Structure 1
């Protein structure tokens, strides 16, 4: 039902009036724009200007590129940029509505890359309802003289990355493909950081499960919650493997041959993340199986104890049942010491059975 509502909202026509990109009260490209910067020879050019003026400066000079950053733009806010740079409508729709799988697609002279960002949600203690990972998206349009980034989600800001790149003009001078590599590398590095944080939760759950050999101290809901969150993490990481292989191996005019080597290095890091996530999943399966085995063993022990006590209690029950019958002629019925003798025999039999069960580990 929720998916249907989301789909209905996505397909419903927007009634927001067209955005005036030249209005003084807005940034040059609308409220969703984070930055619009011209780079030439790896150096940031001074002076802010709208996208049309920025790309005109670059094409007039015949060198450099424009990097435009947007945060969760609406269809109206993005339509002007899409028309200016000739972006394909399908790619524009994906960038606006988000919720896409990681992928790399080429539309004519533009490379469209979708990346899933992942952030670790800190918590004091993992519970059955704790949120462990939070996902977002970064879409990158890469052309010969422009880079457009569209970010969704409240984490993984590209501001620090931009500053880091600007401190390395020799790398930034390689063009838009260098920016694309830096963004992909930035996202994958965050994957590694999340795996290190998730490892702490894995250790805590494992200790909790095996702390009590009877399996009663473990909260299985925590294990299932961590497994669900790990599945979300895996959905963000695993599909990126194939796109990175394409970026690192398949020749394309939009990717500098030297930058392709860097993409192969990022692909190695991603492979490490995939291995760790797969290992986490296998370990959680083992923890669940171990917990089930512990509970089963504990239940068997309880059943043995119950059976042993039932056998012990059966002895006096049988004696009382026999002497409770209304017969005149019964052994030692009229003997003065008959009652204590029968009780003594029953007590002795119970003690011997209790000793035997204790010796065999049933009690």
Structure 2
């Protein structure tokens, strides 16, 4: 569906225009057109392709969807694909992933948002409030869209870091190893989803910082460097979380081994104690006729006392060794 179709002249909004009137405004070199689509149909995309003279390959990318974040140049038109990331309702659910494709030419910008409830109305208001920057044309709108997408990664990073801290606080709690491993696995999966959105975009944006910058991005090269810096910070946070999650998983597995070893030592200790009792009981339980202990008046009590003393001594030794 069509969200907005607006013409701007020298950084100032002229009017909302009809799709059929786009080509008329493109003939004016002091004017550029900004069109926003949401969950566009194939027919809408073909209409925009005709109005802006977009390349078939770039349009096919949008039609197929699920594109890796990238920047490609088709003649004078720059094609940008980015992933929109939203935090799910539950900490165990995967992140909600959307997609936005941007076409930026000498005097037009077309953004197509798919599978996401995030909107760019705030971006339009922000750019219209800065006409001196909007005068830079389509390049500044391209920067504003990229900056908005990247800034929305920061709350997701903060949420994932907070979740990681909560798990770390529970790592050394007794009996929580299994649940901690499950939580760490879900967290690691979400971190990897975020990384797949950030790392390719960072790599693609780095190419716009070289000597050969597309004409549409040249006026805002310094602004794009700021977006690249944000992506680098996010990528560093993601790498740090990945390492911490892997370490936490290893620590949790080690804690599981320690707990199992403690249980095994306790079982072995009690088995040894009862083995002493069983051994002594087996000696006096043999059915020999000439056993001197059998005719003692207090033999039974003495046997029990010896057995209890032996077991008590073994228990004290295990207790002192920390096995019980």
Shared fold (TM-score, shorter chain, > 0.5): yes
Q: CA deviation at 1:320?
A: 1.6
How far apart, CA to CA, are the structure 2 residues paired with 1:198 and 1:177? 32
Q: CA deviation at 1:50?
A: 2.1
How far apart, CA to CA, are the structure 2 residues paired with 1:209 and 1:253? 50
Corresponding position of 1:86: 53
Corresponding position of 1:95: 62
Out of 121, 134, 155, which is 2:88 matched to?
Answer: 121
How far apart, CA to CA, are the structure 1 residues paired with 2:55 and 2:22? 21
Q: CA deviation at 1:175?
A: 0.6
Q: CA deviation at 1:180?
A: 0.5
Out of 50, 72, 82, which is 2:39 matched to?
Answer: 72
Q: CA deviation at 1:323?
A: 2.2
Q: CA deviation at 1:153?
A: 2.1
Instruction: Indicate yes or no: 2:113 matched with 1:151.
Output: yes
Tell me, yes or no, if the aligned pair for 2:42 and 2:63 is still in contact at 8 Å. yes
1:211 aligned counterpart, secondary structure: coil
Corresponding position of 2:247: 286
Instruction: Indicate yes or no: 2:57 matched with 1:57.
Output: no
Give the number of equivalent residue pairs.
324
Q: Deviations over 1:123-179 (max 9, x none)?
A: 4xx3xxx22521111100011111000101223211111111111111111010101
Instruction: Indicate yes or no: 2:194 matched with 1:233.
Output: yes
Out of 104, 122, 137, which is 1:160 matched to?
Answer: 122
Query: Is the helix fraction higher in 1 or 2?
Result: 2
How far apart, CA to CA, are the structure 2 residues paired with 1:302 and 1:106? 64
Instruction: Indicate yes or no: 2:4 matched with 1:38.
Output: no
1:67 aligned counterpart, secondary structure: strand
1:333 aligned counterpart, secondary structure: helix
Instruction: Indicate yes or no: 2:146 matched with 1:177.
Output: no
Unaligned runs of 5+ in 1: 1-31
Unaligned runs of 5+ in 2: none
Tell me, yes or no, if the aligned pair for 2:106 and 2:216 is still in contact at 8 Å. no
How do 1:202-351 and structure 2 match up within 5 A?
202-212=164-174, 215-216=176-177, 218-351=179-312
Q: CA deviation at 1:243?
A: 1.2
- Which deviates further from its counterpart, 336-345 or 325-334? 325-334
- Which deviates further from its counterpart, 184-193 or 253-262? 253-262
How far apart, CA to CA, are the structure 2 residues paired with 1:232 and 1:246? 23
TM-score by length of 2: 0.95
Corresponding position of 1:28: none
- Which deviates further from its counterpart, 49-58 or 315-324? 49-58
TM-score by length of 1: 0.85
How far apart, CA to CA, are the structure 2 residues paired with 1:196 and 1:341? 70
Tell me, yes or no, if the aligned pair for 1:66 and 1:146 is still in contact at 8 Å. yes
Tell me, yes or no, if the aligned pair for 1:122 and 1:132 is still in contact at 8 Å. no
2:111 aligned counterpart, secondary structure: strand
CA distance 1:256–1:115, change in 2 (3 Å): closer
2:106 aligned counterpart, secondary structure: coil
